[in-house]
Amino acid sequence: MTAHPNSTEARDIRYHLHSYTNARKHEEVGPLVIEKGDGVYVEDASGKRYIEAMAGLWSVAVGFSEQRLVDAATSQMKKLPFYHTFTHKGHSPAVDLAEKLVSIAPVEMSKAYFTNSGSEANDTAMKMIWYRSNALGQPQKKKIISRRRGYHGVTIASASLTGLPANHGSFDLPIANVLHAGTPHHYREAQPGESEEAFATRLADELEQLILAEGPETIAAFIGEPVMGAGGVVVPPATYWEKVQAILARYDILLVADEVICGFGRTGNMFGCQTFGIRPDILVMSKQLSSSYMPISALLINEKVYGPLADESNRIGTFGHGFTAGGHPVAAAVALENLKLIEERDLVGNARTVGAHMQKRLRELADHELVGEVRGLGLIAGVELVADKAARTPWKNVGALGGLVNGHLQENGVISRNMGDTLGFCPPLIITEKQVDDMVDAVKKALDTALPQVKG
């Protein structure tokens, strides 16, 4: 990359280590520096505008530069810029947000607990689960089952729950007591001729066999996203969640729903749990909770979790866990205003109606020579690319085709993200049908540009 030595791009290369980035390649190509955002659009340092088709990182529900969130942050910053929730302390924004979240939960919940990111929240969920098992006199009941290709964060514990090789390799992960079950992706994992329901039955049977092999008395919880996000936007097959929950109930295993991506409207309901009939004991949320204007995450726990936890804290004298900024008053105030906007503007309804249009338009790409599968619901979708449709095989190596098409798409003014060879689409909930059309037209153009490079 050639840039003025004092440019933002050059200084970024000199001083900044990026997440999910090949550091050596970054030294060569440098960053795309985003300077502004408005609605569903962002603008880079050169003034070029893009549709942000991933809502940043699956997260900016109300769009960029929403003045009401800026005002909520400013007002709270002036009144109480920081306080904590340790040792019987609290503040109104945290209390108001806790009450709001418990009141809108898809199932009956007892308490909200605040953290700063999805990773911290899932890390906390694991600690709570272990703490609870000890409280119940079940010190052997500590194993947690996640799924291959599931994504639950990047702390040592939450990255262990994550089921992606890049999050484990060279990090010495996963840690002990974390198991991984199968991926509910019919297109990639089903046997020839296997229906969705038969596939779901097989996955449930395999889960039960894993539980029995490990010993049901050692399994504390199962964690899953209603729709897998970073694993490639995997929509579970029909009856999957129903069958999984029946097995968990049979062996007294807690269910943790990771709603970090699905929560607050993404699937066309307020929570993905409502879309799939999931009844969790712990519900984890972040991202669209504040539209990522401020870092905040939360866990909702039911009485089955809270009761033993409270008893154990009484026995020990404290619940020895917490983060300095957990339940930060400014973040909580922004989250409250964000939830008001989602409700007032019926953005959940918009995710259903405009989401149906997005799903229809993206599925028009299914006949393209480079498209293997289009999947999704609401305002979340994945377009999986292949070099050979019949064999479902990649071009060169996994991720090469996704990277090629994603690069062309960015040139066409749309920011997506390729997860291997799957392009993700998760735009702000405020997107219009016209903006969806512009986005899909750019995808078609990128595919057509890549085709001769792949087939030539």
44-94 pLDDT, tens digit per residue, is: 999 999 999 999 999 999 999 999 999 999 999 999 999 999 999 999 999
> pLDDT tens, 372-430?
999 999 999 999 999 999 999 999 999 999 999 999 999 999 999 999 999 999 999 99
pLDDT tier for residue 5 given thresholds of 50, 70 and 90: confident
> pLDDT tens, 349-387?
999 999 999 999 999 999 999 999 999 999 999 999 999
With pLDDT > 90 as the criterion, what percentage of the chain qualifies? Answer: 98
pLDDT tier for residue 4 given thresholds of 50, 70 and 90: confident
**Cα separation, 32 vs 44, whole angstroms:** 7
User: What's the Cα-to-Cα distance from 183 to each of 5, 150, 178, 180, rounded to whole Å?
Assistant: 46, 8, 16, 9
**Cα separation, 4 vs 278, whole angstroms:** 53
**Cα separation, 267 vs 376, whole angstroms:** 9
Under 8 Å between Cβ of 115 and 323: yes
Under 8 Å between Cβ of 250 and 224: no
Residues 6+ apart with CB under 8 A from 246: 204
Q: Which of 200, 166, 161 is nearest to 183 (CA)?
A: 200
Three-class DSSP category at 255: strand
**Cα separation, 303 vs 316, whole angstroms:** 19
**Cα separation, 294 vs 360, whole angstroms:** 33
**Cα separation, 322 vs 83, whole angstroms:** 13
Q: Name the CA radius of gyration of the chain, rounded.
A: 22
With pLDDT > 70 as the criterion, what percentage of the chain qualifies? Answer: 99
pLDDT tier for residue 2 given thresholds of 50, 70 and 90: low
**Residue burial 19-43, b: 16+ Cβ < 10 Å; e: rest:** eeeeeeebeeebbeeeeebebbbbe
Residue span(s) of the chain under CATH 3.90.1150.10 come to 32-62+346-455
> CATH: 3.90.1300.10, 3.30.230.70, 3.30.70.360, 3.90.1150.10. Which one for 32-62+346-455?
3.90.1150.10
Residues 6+ apart with CB under 8 A from 139: 133
Residue span(s) of the chain under CATH 3.40.640.10 come to 69-344
Q: Strands, E, within 333-393: which ranges?
A: 371-377, 380-385
Query: What token pair was written down for 222?
Result: 């199962």
**Cα separation, 65 vs 211, whole angstroms:** 47
What DSSP state is assigned to residue 228? Answer: B
> pLDDT tens, 124-168?
999 999 999 999 999 999 999 999 999 999 999 999 999 999 999
**Cα separation, 62 vs 383, whole angstroms:** 24
Query: Per-residue pLDDT averaged across 255-279, rounded?
Result: 98
Query: Per-residue pLDDT averaged across 287-312, rounded?
Result: 98
pLDDT of residue 456: 79
Residue 18 region by backbone torsions, left for phi larger than 0, else alpha for psi between -120 and 50, else beta? beta
* CA angle, 327 then 328 then 329, to 5°: 110
Query: What token pair was written down for 14?
Result: 């000199």
Q: CA 358, 363, 368, 372 torsion: positive or negative?
A: positive
The mean predicted confidence, pLDDT, of the chain is 97
| pLDDT surpassing 70 at residue 1 | no
> CATH: 3.40.50.1820, 3.40.980.10, 3.40.640.10, 3.40.605.10. Which one for 69-344?
3.40.640.10
Under 8 Å between Cβ of 70 and 62: no
Residue 57 region by backbone torsions, left for phi larger than 0, else alpha for psi between -120 and 50, else beta? beta
Residue 29 region by backbone torsions, left for phi larger than 0, else alpha for psi between -120 and 50, else beta? alpha
Helix (H) or strand (E) holding 241: helix 240-250
Inter-axis angle of helices 433-455 and 347-363, to 10 degrees?
30
Query: Per-residue pLDDT averaged across 298-320, rounded?
Result: 98
Q: Which of 336, 269, 343, 255 is nearest to 296 (CA)?
A: 336
